[in-house]
Amino acid sequence: MSAFINPFSDFGFKKIFGEEASKPVLIDFLNALLPLESHISDLTFKNSEQLSESAESRKVVFDIYCENEKGEKFIVELQKARQNFFKERTIYYSTFPIREQVERNDYKYNLKAIYCIGILDFAFKDYGDDEDKKRVVHEIKLKNQNGKVFYDKLTYIYLEMPNFLKKENELATHLDKWLYFIKNLNNLNDIPLIFTKDVVFMEAFNKAKLSGLSQDEYASYINSIKGYNDWMSVMDTKLEEAELRIKRDLAKSLKSNGVALEIIQKTTRLSIDEIQDL
């Protein structure tokens, strides 16, 4: 078992990046993603629970929602499993800080910048060409038909963690270190030497130590892991059931068309007895 919490658990992610004492860690991580002119010097955590416009609509809860010293908004989301329409979900999320600013300023529309950052424990299957599908960091802005930025105050940043393959001796940038930290933390028993001279990373590792959790925190962490594992088990079961239905439907069709049982068996990998019982 790792000496550190899993950052891909709800508890682990918020423990490392989402507590008041985590501000220096979160600021450093965000600055590693942002261009120099957009660097953050201070952050304020905002209420992560957002209400939709109508009482009938469900509420939205961000993993982390914060604001920098210039009033710019940051939504940081961790997504453990592939989800249909995840990109649409992040676009929907960005409407909340937009609406919040418009409501405050009434008729004024001079909005502050908004950043939606998604840390994904999966890779997009339907985005871009072969080069894009190998990319770790995707930065998306609104652009016109000539590829020129039309509006520079709305930025979506997606980190495809499975695409990050660098080893410890290959880490060249500060962002490389953060990506390595997030991806490998749950498999480490000791702090890698490359991080030991960096105060912010040492702070992040210290916050992530399992031995540093209180009994209540440890219980919350275990429940967070258990909840995710239970959900994945349900999804795996549903997938297996769906695959079996498809195999049986195919076997029925082949059998009704007089295809030999041996060929049906090789095609569907069902047993002869299963095929005969259909």
Which of 168, 193, 213 marks a domain boundary?
213
Q: Are residues 158 and 250 in the same domain?
A: no
Q: Are residues 170 and 78 in the same domain?
A: yes
Q: Are residues 166 and 253 in the same domain?
A: no
Q: Is residue 262 part of a domain?
A: yes
**Tokens 């909005």 — which residue?**
111
List pLDDT tens digits, range 225-249: 886 666 666 666 767 777 878 888 8
Which of 213, 228, 262 marks a domain boundary?
213
Query: The pTM is what?
Result: 0.79
- Least confident range from 12-21, 72-81, 143-152, 219-228: namely 219-228
- Angle (CA) 119 74 65, round 5°: 85
pLDDT at site 232: 61
Q: Are residues 104 and 192 in the same domain?
A: yes
pLDDT at site 130: 64
Structure tokens at 33: 């993603």
Q: Are residues 71 and 173 in the same domain?
A: yes
Q: Whose CA is closest to 64, among 82, 83, 81, 43?
A: 43
Number of structural domains (the chain) is 2
Q: Is residue 197 part of a domain?
A: yes
Structure tokens at 201: 């990373």
Alpha helices in the chain (DSSP H): 10-17, 23-33, 86-105, 174-184, 199-207, 215-256, 261-268, 272-277
Q: Whose CA is closest to 13, among 220, 169, 208, 249?
A: 208
Q: Is residue 71 part of a domain?
A: yes
Q: Is residue 24 part of a domain?
A: yes
Residues with Cβ < 8 Å from 66, sequence gap 6 or more? 26, 43, 44, 45, 46, 73, 74, 76
CA distance 244 to 268: 9
Distances (CA, A) of 72 to 19, 51, 60, 69, 83: 19, 20, 20, 7, 28
Q: Are residues 180 and 253 in the same domain?
A: no
Q: Are residues 52 and 123 in the same domain?
A: yes
pLDDT at 51 over 70: no
List pLDDT tens digits, range 77-122: 988 877 777 888 889 989 989 888 886 665 667 889 999 999 998 8
Q: Are residues 125 and 252 in the same domain?
A: no
Q: Is residue 269 part of a domain?
A: yes
pLDDT at site 236: 65
Q: Are 82 and 60 in contact (CB under 8 A)?
A: no
Instruction: Write out the residue range of the structural domain in which residue 258 sits.
Output: 245-277
